Amino acid sequence: MDVFDSYKNVIQKAVENDPLRKHRSYYGLGQPYVETNQDYLVKLRNELPGMELNESMKTFSKGMGGVSTLTYPSLGNHPDFSYLRGTGDSEDHWIISGFIDVRKSTQLFNQFTKGTVRLITESIVRASIFAVNLCGGYVHRIHGDGLMVYFGRKNMDKKQAVKDALKSFSMISYFVKNDLKDYFESNGIKDIHTRGGLDLGHSNQVSWFYSGIGDSGEVTTCSLHTSLAPKMQGNAKINGIVVGHHIYTQIGKDKYFDKRSNPIHDYGDGRVYNQYHFDWERYLVDIGLAVQKDNGVLVLTINALPTPGRNSDNLHNIASKSKPFFNNGEL
């Protein structure tokens, strides 16, 4: 299912019509270039999906039990805790913190005008925002070409929130690895990839509060596990996801997790907190959001009906001959 095609199409058009690419023989990489295609860039940007989803996105959303129009709350203001804005109050409540970004994206400036780079990164960011909101998450902050997000809310099952977070980050990783990688490489764009980190803090480990002065602030969390999530992101492999022990215990299936040899945190009293590489490709197949073709390529789908006798446990022979399946997203 081509759920991310609208974002990929904008990236392709931006790359193919980049002025610097067309006139590279006349302009050195270190020389300024006047971007003459501003009107085209504006028109192209309007092709990116907004609040209203296109037909393939609607089909995918409905298949996941969602709606045709998603709600995108304002940043830095989680709806369940927005009452804390501008106050000195706090509330303890569990939450899953996540960080995901695009790595090696700065090399894009070596090949394209800043307008094209802007459209490439914004397309990936918008696709990521779509995946987060589709899976019930909340985008807390945008960091250039990356996101800080939360999953979970009041009156929600914690395990379901963990599944939603893993599903969302798996979809984002899929988009960059499967939909964009080959196109990028065919255009001389090497090593662009995502890395993600997720961790769960329980209610006695998370404090929600308003951080800032006046309007210069956000409703955010103080938690060891919010602080550990970006460190896990930094430990992820290419197009990989690393999660904390609390995420691991909520799922309870070892086949998705490979414990890293080094713990992510030492409490200083003999206890440590472990981190795990998460096999998002296997997870997408098992939850019915993807199938793997005979050539090893993973394809997003809805309610996939596996071929009899074929599932993620016996795809090793196919995967080992083509695109790696059991490598935790490492290329």
Q: How many CA atoms lie within 13 A of 104 on its CB side?
A: 14
Percent of the chain residues topping a pLDDT of 70: 85
pLDDT of residue 296: 72
Mean pLDDT of the chain: 85
Rounded Cα gap, residues 248 and 274, in angstroms: 9
Q: Provide the pLDDT confidence category of residue 314 given band limits of 50, 70 and 90.
A: very low
Residues 6+ apart with CB under 8 A from 282: 255, 256, 312, 325, 326
Is the CB of residue 109 less than 8 Å from the CB of residue 144?
no
For the stretch 260-270, pLDDT in tens is: 999 999 999 99
For the stretch 23-66, pLDDT in tens is: 654 444 444 555 556 788 889 999 998 877 778 888 788 777 76
Rounded Cα gap, residues 52 and 299, in angstroms: 24
* pLDDT over 80 (residue 140): yes
Residue 97 phi, psi (nearest 5): -105, 140
Q: Provide the pLDDT confidence category of residue 328 given band limits of 50, 70 and 90.
A: very low
Q: Provide the pLDDT confidence category of residue 312 given band limits of 50, 70 and 90.
A: low
Rounded Cα gap, residues 244 and 235, in angstroms: 12
Global pTM reads 0.86
Is the CB of residue 171 less than 8 Å from the CB of residue 196?
no
* pLDDT over 80 (residue 88): yes
For the stretch 190-242, pLDDT in tens is: 888 999 999 999 999 999 999 999 999 999 999 999 999 999 999 999 999 99
pLDDT of residue 160: 96
